[in-house]
Structure 1
């Protein structure tokens, strides 16, 4: 249904605000006037996952911790859940990654920026008695590295800023964002990549090479006259592609050049994968058909 990303300085009161948001949304969902789908509201945090604040002491421990948070988020995201991710989420690249995951699931999103002054955050961090305080050096490092959310970028929007002096959260705005906001479709950056079969490169090379040889034979027999011909491929007797030849003799160098161009383009799709919808056919018949279209488009009369 929705992903709510909480972001803020260390010890700025994010968990308290996340709890307030959860309580507000649950109250709205239980209201008799609500006629929407049955939803549950869940909070995901470092504490719930058992991730110690010491994980932020150095990058080699922080990256796995952030990965664990992201993996847990992906598992819990669903169309019947409002998921509140209560964590630092201080890196804009990580917030973008979360945004992309939500788009792939077709969820609504919003970001809540919990703000408190540096001095107040330091005071609250030192006063913590629950074992969840940050080491002083780590705390100062996180303050310096923090990348504030911005309403100008799509992955932080809509953005709600909650100051430490605010008595309540902007509940109605958050409610509208997760129930009425636009659901953005997945783009090429969020679609899963379809991998080609392991023999695709071999099939591509063999099929196009056989077709070049067959075209040279047919072109020579036609002696420069134009018209459609059916190609016979020794490597695939059942495959008989048809191509319209131009009114002139084709040269081997010309066909080899066009073959190299065609193979180069399709090699990228094979090695890097493709985000085309549905299954991608890398069989001989499909490759032959595409190569015929390519040749007919690029062979000059």
Structure 2
């Protein structure tokens, strides 16, 4: 199940919308379970569920170096920019089906500030009367005015045009029950519906597999050496040859790879070794060569190296 991040100004209705969404998803999951154990489990995580006080956002009394050390932690809970990038990188490292979804509770700053001021007023009245104001689920604690202003100033609204803020679903403060349900339906279709997008791990963030024998570098060195040797053995003095090499030397009569050498000159060993070293430096991590150690792995290395050589010869003219 994807991670759904609820974002918005402080006191803009995020907690209320999160509870509404939680209730909606819980009902949809029950409807689709058909008497079997549910496919998904819901976890609602917030400052309240983690017992995080509003006072954590007040860093004015701390030394400058302490405020700097806590800036990213503060932003991760209160704003969207840093958390969005971190969340997408984490999602890309996970197996298929994980993704970040953003749900914005949108209210004008003046309206959100009015809510916070009303909470401050009730808190002050209770304090004046010598009473302790219990903060239940429907009445959250207010922010200190300076903290509220600071959080609004630092907040960056998500942008659906950017991949790290997408998909994005927005509910306005005044949206009625029908509009709310339509938005929740669209969100459900995106995260659990039949037409949802399958998110694959990103090659740039996922550790690539290697063979159990640990001979990846040896195989890479051996196969690229063999390609270079085959080119030197077959090319003519005039250059411009098409060198045919077996894709898998262990299989007689199998597929062939073609190296297209530049015309008008002979390709020497120094040039080939330079290209070979560059290719090995690019591929020491095993990107895209998961099956090293068997015939398929060797064939992939040879095919990839030949394509690299052909591209390099074409660029150099």
Whether the TM-score (by the shorter chain) exceeds 0.5 is yes
Question: Deviation per CA, 1:222-245, whole angstroms, max 9, x where unpaired?
Answer: 8779787889xxxxxx99998778
With structure 1 as the length reference, what TM-score do the two structures score?
0.61
Matches within 5 A, 1:215-226: 215-216=231-232, 218-219=233-234
Show the counterpart of 1:8.
8
Paired residues of 1:228 and 1:244 also in contact (CA < 8 A): yes
Show the counterpart of 1:140.
149
Show the counterpart of 2:184.
175
Shift of 1:115: 1.8
Show the counterpart of 2:128.
none
Does 100-109 or 119-128 show the bigger shift?
A: 100-109
Shift of 1:4: 3.2
For 2:28 and 2:222, how far apart are their aligned partners in 1?
63
Show the counterpart of 2:46.
45
Instruction: Identify, as 1 or 2, the structure richer in strand.
Output: 1
Q: CA RMSD in A?
A: 4.8
How has the CA–CA distance of structure 1 residues 199 and 175 changed in structure 2, closer, same or farther, with 3 Å as cutoff? same
Question: Deviation per CA, 1:9-36, whole angstroms, max 9, x where unpaired?
Answer: 1233322232233234445555xxx456
For 1:4 and 1:110, how far apart are their aligned partners in 2?
6
For 1:168 and 1:229, how far apart are their aligned partners in 2?
69
Show the counterpart of 2:130.
none
Show the counterpart of 2:275.
261
Paired residues of 1:102 and 1:109 also in contact (CA < 8 A): no
Question: Deviation per CA, 1:164-201, whole angstroms, max 9, x where unpaired?
Answer: x5565843223312333342232564875234768756
Show the counterpart of 1:208.
224
Shift of 1:149: 3.0
Show the counterpart of 1:79.
none
For 1:268 and 1:213, how far apart are their aligned partners in 2?
21
- Partner of residue 113 from structure 2, selected from 114, 119, 132: 119
Does 291-300 or 136-145 show the bigger shift?
A: 291-300
How has the CA–CA distance of structure 1 residues 4 and 227 changed in structure 2, closer, same or farther, with 3 Å as cutoff? closer
Show the counterpart of 2:292.
281
Gaps of 5+ in 1: 68-86, 232-237
Question: Deviation per CA, 1:209-260, whole angstroms, max 9, x where unpaired?
Answer: 56545654x358x8779787889xxxxxx999987787998442xx432442
Paired residues of 2:171 and 2:180 also in contact (CA < 8 A): no
Show the counterpart of 1:162.
172
Which SS does the other structure have where 1:48 is aligned?
Answer: coil
Paired residues of 2:7 and 2:103 also in contact (CA < 8 A): yes
How has the CA–CA distance of structure 1 residues 111 and 100 changed in structure 2, closer, same or farther, with 3 Å as cutoff? farther
How has the CA–CA distance of structure 1 residues 160 and 212 changed in structure 2, closer, same or farther, with 3 Å as cutoff? closer
Which SS does the other structure have where 1:148 is aligned?
Answer: coil
Paired residues of 2:104 and 2:170 also in contact (CA < 8 A): yes
With structure 2 as the length reference, what TM-score do the two structures score?
0.59
Which SS does the other structure have where 2:50 is aligned?
Answer: coil
Which SS does the other structure have where 1:12 is aligned?
Answer: coil
Shift of 1:142: 1.0
Paired residues of 1:9 and 1:114 also in contact (CA < 8 A): yes
How has the CA–CA distance of structure 1 residues 256 and 125 changed in structure 2, closer, same or farther, with 3 Å as cutoff? farther
Show the counterpart of 1:105.
97
